[in-house]
Amino acid sequence: MIVSCRKTLVAVIIRGFHWVFMRLTHGLPAFDGRLRVTKRDATPTVLTIGNFDGVHLGHQALLGQLVAHARRLAMPATVLTFEPQPREYFAALRHQDPPRRVSSLREKIALLSDAGVDAVHVCRFNQALAQMPAEEFIQRLLVGGMGMRHLVIGDDFRFGAGRAGDFNLLGEMGEKLGYGITAMPTLLSDAQRVSSSAVRDALAKADLGLAEQLLGRPYALCGRVVQGRKLGRELGFPTANIQLRRNTLPLTGIFAVTVTGAGLQDYPGAASLGVRPTLGHGLAPCCEVHLPDYSGNLYGQHLTLTFRHKLRDEAKYDSFEDLKQAIALDVARTKELLSHG
């Protein structure tokens, strides 16, 4: 019997001036109980597995190997990732704060497409996966479900219940189940290990230079412009409120950013990322950006904010007049740092 709750769609992503079509699937891959791909399963794949939070330089090196092997074997370069991320799942079980994400799922999928990946499968991480023995993880999920014929993975990858599975087990099982495996060593940048944790630490310290060094690009976030309280307009500094699909933020404060989207290209902006302490306590994190001298309607548009400089930390002001004066200084500083010509 084939068990499957796979949902398939085609992600359409704009890369430069070209439309890119990437297969995006969700759910539990089909599995026939005989630990092999069936006609109803996906095409045999060259696979990699991981959270890929931020898609940093280490991820990019691994994805480059993935795509190269996939082209050589004439199979789709496929990424298996998880929602929620395993560390988020276990943090919730322990009633702990989850790790701060570098990228949202939407941002991650776009970055994976930019790396040349043909397909992404998003598998829900739940109790069943958390308790799945390592051997079953390989047999049922990777080979029987994903059609894995070659695996490209970091040499420190751990998986399965109790993190019992490792690279050695993957190699042993590969000889039995007929898949190849390529190990990727840890990437170093100036003697520092490139990892999502290192990127998170850099962003938490607002070290945008180090974050850029580890990511291979400046840090950015994207989202749709939604209705806000319009307080910025009342203060004389109208803002675009960016919808955040995450409960925690990798960095907070006031930043000089450049904005792309809705016809804008690297337009300078002053962005506030945080909980707006002047407005009250316990507010949800939000992102607001003021675009000096811009008067267009951005509601419903998707914008990408690229973080260039940190101006200051968030602060609680005694009055809206004090807040207004602080914003005016932020905007002036942003213009000084980013205005062209």
Read off the pLDDT of residues 54-99 as tens digits, 9 standing for 90 and up. 999 999 999 999 999 999 999 999 999 999 999 999 999 999 988 8
Q: Which domain holds residue 334?
A: 219-338
Q: Is residue 254 part of a domain?
A: yes
Confidence of residue 32 (pLDDT cuts 50, 70, 90): very low
DSSP 233-296: HHTT---EEEP---SS-S--EEEEEEEEETTEEEEEEEEEEE--GGG-SSPPPEEEEE-TT---
On whether the CB atoms of residues 243 and 226 are closer than 8 A, the answer is yes
* Residue that is last in its domain, among 144, 169, 189: 189
Q: Which pLDDT band holds residue 13 (cuts at 50, 70, 90)? A: very low
Query: Residue 330 above 50 pLDDT?
Result: yes
Q: Write the CA distances from 60 to 25, 198, 215, integer angstroms.
A: 21, 15, 9
Residue 158 has pLDDT above 60, yes or no: yes
How confident is the model at residue 277, as a pLDDT?
63
**CA distance linking residue 210 with residue 197, whole number of Å:** 12
Same domain, 24 and 127: yes
* Beta carbons of 132 and 161 less than 8 angstroms apart: yes
Do 223 and 175 reside in the same domain of the chain? Answer: no
| Structure token pair of residue 104 | 């949202």
Please tell me the least confidently modeled range out of 5-14, 168-177, 250-259, 311-320.
5-14
**Any idea what the CATH number is for the domain that residue 113 is in?**
3.40.50.620
Q: For position 8, what pLDDT does the model report?
A: 45
Q: Are residues 141 and 224 in the same domain?
A: no
Mean pLDDT over 166-190 rounds to 91
Domain membership of residue 210 (yes or no) is: no
Whether residues 14 and 139 share a domain: the answer is yes
Quick check: is 197 in a domain?
Answer: no
* 19 shares its domain with 117: yes
Q: Which two tokens stand for residue 98?
A: 């989850």
Q: Are residues 184 and 291 in the same domain?
A: no
Choose the final residue of a domain: 189, 209, 231: 189
CA pair distance 61, 68, nearest whole angstrom: 11
pTM of the model: 0.86
Per-residue pLDDT, 17: 35
Do 33 and 155 belong to one domain?
yes
Of 97-106, 245-254, 302-311, the one with minimum mean pLDDT is 245-254
Mean pLDDT of the chain: 85
Overall domain count for the chain: 2
320 domain residue, yes or no: yes
DSSP for 237-250 reads ---EEEP---SS-S
